[in-house]
Chains A and B, each alone.
Chain A
């Protein structure tokens, strides 16, 4: 079981099979919509997990990059007449460039200082999206034109479920590839000992920056997909501070340093609030309790803790 979980192709295949099988049991469009949201947040969480769980650098402003991706497709299509797919790539490029420029100075900071600096970055982006009402529609947000590919307008949660599932599988493959590469080893090394990484020739600052850019691009793509799915976006809904906290929670809850964990964390935080609505006013209370219980019972996050337990049981 553990070997299977560690084999990246087994993981990718299993994920693809689950994602392909789910529509068979979905009774309504509502399920497609929720599942598409899971895919989208899983994608952003995987990117953030590369930064936090593998390279050990926190970001409390990652929703800012989601916001850039979301507004890039909305503004790109409505103001510049760009095709949505092109606008999505442009958004990813802008998010990556911003991460590159901002990352250089702020990634010198460590721990709590880095956390606060990234928090500031997220707030800044969110504020810019709110205040530039001429472009973004301000706090009320703006409509997102439908994506048109090969002459067809893509609409409907089932279509977007398929697209986001494809994007998630692709994101998982790229992340797993990266982890098992020289870059992956360098970033994991940085997490455990920067000094040891440096004396064997790893340019620590350069790698932190690369991972920051990659994780920003993941978030931006996720933001663009969310905009397409929802058809309407607001600064708070895409780039808000609570979104950033949500992303961090997904990563920690599912498991730092586990790609599968990021997916599980995203699924929990997207599905639970929906499932708990039947409890009406106790919804938030229960959600909080479940998160706390999960962290107490599975302190290293769902997947790493379960893996450790499997290993302990097998030995």
Chain B
């Protein structure tokens, strides 16, 4: 199975600090690849590099074998890469279904003049986008809330709304930045199910998540970052047992807790 997304020695420096330092990883279609590491390890920065929000100072990103390094996010979206955000990025004044309909944008073909005139082609396209959006909402379990204004939804629902919106772009790879953060156990269960379902559909998933039980349960592969560098990469069991990981990652947790106690 060839990789859908590859990074080669991807790096970025802010001032004198190298936030992401020569990180190489690969994700195959249908694979769930998790990035873990202590706070400040560069996980979200890596996501911002891959999704085109930051320009790398070194290294390359390849999507389906094509080099896409430095392309802006909207062009990456058109090539099949979408993402969710750690801090919610929701269109609060639009309804839930409209939020997801924006995700259909890259498949909409009608021009602005036809929009002004509301030509039949536009009405058909609106209906089509709404259908796709409803299907994606159902997929994440939010069909009942479709017409609610997004600003009125619960935190857990908004987390899933972001996933539905990203799925509406019909991505080949989906980057999920802490999808379960702030969610209760029931919502986490639901997100677990959604991620599995998405991977089963052949979409590659790159996941940043702090819920270790979730990560160990669903990941096919885990990459551990520490201070911007790749520390270890491998199957969940191997990573869990790796002494370097225990020292760097779990050790930090242990010492933090020891400090607090």
- A178-B115 in contact (CB<8A): yes
Which residues does chain A contribute within 8 Å of B34, judged by CB atoms? none
**Complex interface residues of chain A between 239 and 265 (CB less than 8 A to chain B):** 257
Q: How many residues of B contact A (CB 8 A)?
A: 41
- B115-A188 in contact (CB<8A): no
> Is A109 in the interface zone, CB < 8 Å from B?
no
- B126-A180 in contact (CB<8A): yes
- B112-A210 in contact (CB<8A): yes
- A174-B105 in contact (CB<8A): no
B-side residues, CB < 8 A to A, are 51, 53, 72-74, 76-78, 82-83, 85, 89-94, 98-99, 101-106, 108, 110, 112, 115-118, 122, 125-126, 129, 162, 165-166, 168-169
Which residues does chain A contribute within 8 Å of B74, judged by CB atoms? 198-199, 201-204
Report the Cα distance A130→B89, complex, angstroms.
46
Contact flags A267-292 to B (C-beta < 8 A → 1, else 0) = 00000000000000000000000000
Which residues does chain A contribute within 8 Å of B76, judged by CB atoms? 199
Closest 7 CB pairs of A and B: A201-B77, A181-B115, A201-B106, A196-B89, A177-B118, A192-B91, A182-B108
- B165-A200 in contact (CB<8A): yes
Pick from B105, B112, B129: contact of A202, CB under 8 Å: B105
Which residues does chain B contribute within 8 Å of A177, judged by CB atoms? 115-118, 122
- B126-A181 in contact (CB<8A): yes
- A183-B90 in contact (CB<8A): no
- A199-B51 in contact (CB<8A): yes
- B91-A188 in contact (CB<8A): yes
Pick from B105, B110, B117, B118: contact of A185, CB under 8 Å: B105
Pick from A180, A193, A199: contact of B73, CB under 8 Å: A199
Report the Cα distance A280→B102, complex, angstroms.
52
Which residues does chain B contribute within 8 Å of A214, judged by CB atoms? 112, 116
Report the Cα distance A198→B75, complex, angstroms.
9
A and B contact pairs by CB, cutoff 8 A, 17 listed: A174-B117, A181-B110, A183-B115, A185-B94, A188-B91, A191-B91, A193-B89, A196-B85, A196-B162, A197-B102, A198-B77, A199-B73, A199-B74, A200-B165, A200-B168, A201-B74, A257-B93
Given contacts A181-B115, A193-B91, A201-B106, 4 further A-B contacts (CB under 8 A): A178-B116, A182-B126, A200-B103, A200-B168
Closest to A195 in B: B89
The verdict on A192 contacting B92 (CB below 8 Å), with A178-B116, A185-B98, A202-B102 known, is: yes
- B168-A182 in contact (CB<8A): no
Contact flags A193-233 to B (C-beta < 8 A → 1, else 0) = 10111111111100000100010000000000000000000
> Is A186 in the interface zone, CB < 8 Å from B?
yes
The verdict on A200 contacting B89 (CB below 8 Å), with A181-B126, A186-B102 known, is: no
- B122-A181 in contact (CB<8A): yes
Closest to B93 in A: A192
The verdict on A199 contacting B112 (CB below 8 Å), with A177-B117, A188-B94, A189-B91 known, is: no
The verdict on A201 contacting B169 (CB below 8 Å), with A182-B108, A183-B115, A184-B115 known, is: yes
The verdict on A200 contacting B105 (CB below 8 Å), with A182-B110, A182-B125 known, is: yes
